Structure 1
Amino acid sequence: MNTSDQSEQYPQGDQDENKVKNVEMMPQLVSSEYKQVENRVSISPAVIHEAIRVEGEIELNRTIFALACSSLAAGLSMGFSLIGRGVIHYYLPTTAFWRPLVDNFGYSLGFLIVILGRQQLFTENTLTVILPLLTHFDKRTTLRVLRLWGIVLLGNFVGAFLLATLVAQTLLFPPGIRDVFTQLSQQAFEGGFGLLLLRGIFAGWLIALMVWLLPASENMRLHIIVFVTYIIGVAAFAHVIVDAVSAFYLVSLGKVSFWYALGAYLLPILLGNIIGGVTLVAVLNYGQVATEASKKEKGEQKEDKQ
C-alpha cells in the first residue's frame, strides 16, 4: 500500500497528525485503528532529544540566584544517599552476604529527592545543557554552559559539605550508625586516580542515560530513577556529589584533609562523570538525531527539486 492509497483511505487531517503516515499499513485498518497504531509507536529519538534540549535551554536561562539555591538544595538532598544507605546497612544482619544488595536501595534516596524535586544536580547537566551547546555551538552558548556548570557544581559541593558536617559533628545519629557512615565513606576512597576516573565514567554514563530515558518513561519515572541509581550503588561506581558527602564527612572527622579529598578523590570522579555524561551519551545520542535530521532535510530538498 503506497502513500497515495493512504490518502484515499484516511482524511488529510489525520495524515498530517500521524507520526507513521509514510509507513505501509494493512488495508483493512480504519482511521480509528490507525490512531491506535500511532499511540503505540515508541517515542522517537528526535522527540526525546528536543524535550531534553528545551529543558536545557530553560536551565541556561535561569538566574544565578535561582541556580545557586537549587544546586545548594540538591547538595543537601544528596546527603540522604549516604544517610539512607547507612541506616539500612546498620539494621541488617552483620554476617549477611547480601547486605549490599539491600542497603543500596538507600543510595537511591538522594537521587529521588533531587530529580523528582527538580533540583539542580551537576551530573544531570552533563546531558541537558550540552544538547543546546551541540545544537548552537558558539561562544555565547559555551559561556552559558560553563556559567551553569560552575554555579551548580559549587552549590552542590557547599550543600554536601554542610550536610556532611552536620551529620559528623552532631548527635543526630547514634554512634553505631555514625560508625557505619565512616565505614561506607572509607570504602568509597578505595582505588587510585585511574580506577576512580573509570568508576566516574560509568556513573556519569548511567546518569545521563537515565536523563535520556525519563522523557519517554511516563508513569515509570520512579522505577527508572531507583533502578539506575541502585545499580550505580551496587556496582560501586562513583558519583561526584554523593561521594563528596562521603569525602566531606571524613574531612569533618579529621580522617583526611580537605585538599586531599578534592584533588586525589573528587577530581578524578568529576572528570569521569563529565566524560561519561558528555562523550558517551550526549554526543552519541546527538549524533544519532543529527544524522536522522540531515537525511530528512536532504529528502525534503530532493522532493522540492522534483
Structure 2
Amino acid sequence: MNTAPHRTQDSDPRSVLVASDLDRTLIYSAAALALDVPDAEAPRLLCVEVYQGKPLSYLTETAAALLDGLARTTHFVPTTTRTVEQYRRIHLPGPAARHAICSNGGQILVNGEPDEEWRRQVTGRIADECAPLEEVRAHLRHTADPAWLLKDRVAENLFAYLVVDRALLPGTWVKDLSAWAGPRGWTVSLQGRKIYAVPKPLTKSAALREVTRRTGATRVLAAGDSLLDADLLLAADRSWRPGHGELADEGWQAPNLTALPERGVAAGETILRSLTRAAAPDRA
C-alpha cells in the first residue's frame, strides 16, 4: 500500500490513521450483542445511538474508554456503509472525528460536512462503469417476494438495499442476485437483515486512500466484518476482523489480517484493544 505522506491543507501531525467499520465491528444492536455469559456477569454497556426515541446501538464501557483514547492519539476515521443521516445519529466516545467515510465511500465528511468534490468524482466513476441505479432497483423490486421483503430503500442516490425477514429469505436468492449484478458492475452483500446492492467503484478503500493522502498518515490500521469491508482491510497496513459476519463465515483471510475468535460486542472491545496496541509508537 502506498501511504507516503502527501501534505495538504487537511494535514494532521498524527502519523497513524485508524479506519474502522461501525455496525457489528465497533457498535452493536441488542440483537447483535451475542452476550454468552450469565446476566450477572455481563459487561456494562454504553448506548451510542438512539433511533425513534429508543436505544439502538451499544459498546461496552471498556470499549468506550479504549475508543476515546484511540481517537485522541490517532487520526480515527469512522468508515461505514451508513448514509450521512444515519451516521449522524451515532455519538461515539472521544473527540469528534475530523474525517468520516459514509455511504460505503460515496461520502467523505470533513468536520461533519460532506465534501462535494469527492461526491462528484465518485458519481462520475459510477456513471462511467456501472448499470444505472434505476435498473438495479427495478430488478430488486421485480424479484423480491413481499412475503419476506420488509423495506426497499435507496441510499443517497448511490446504492440500494433491502431489509428482509431472514427466516423466510430463500437460500439461493442472494447468490442469484450476485450473479445478475456482477456483469452490470454491482456488488451484493448480505449483512444481518439487509441486502446491499452497491456499484463496484463505490468502495471504502478509495475513500480511505483519499483521506490518507489528505492527512499525510504514514501507517493505516483498519477493522471490519462484512464483504463490503474486504477492500478496506486489504488497503491497510494491518487489519482485524471479528469472529462473526460475512468475512468470518467465508473464512476470509489476508496477509495483513488478524482474524479474531471473539464474537458480538466482546469482539468490538478486542478490536479496539488491538488497534490501540498497534497504534502505539513503540509498535510502529
| TM-score class, shorter | under 0.3
More strand by percentage: 2
More helix by share: 1
- Larger Rg over CA atoms: 1
TM-score, normalising length from structure 2?
Answer: 0.22
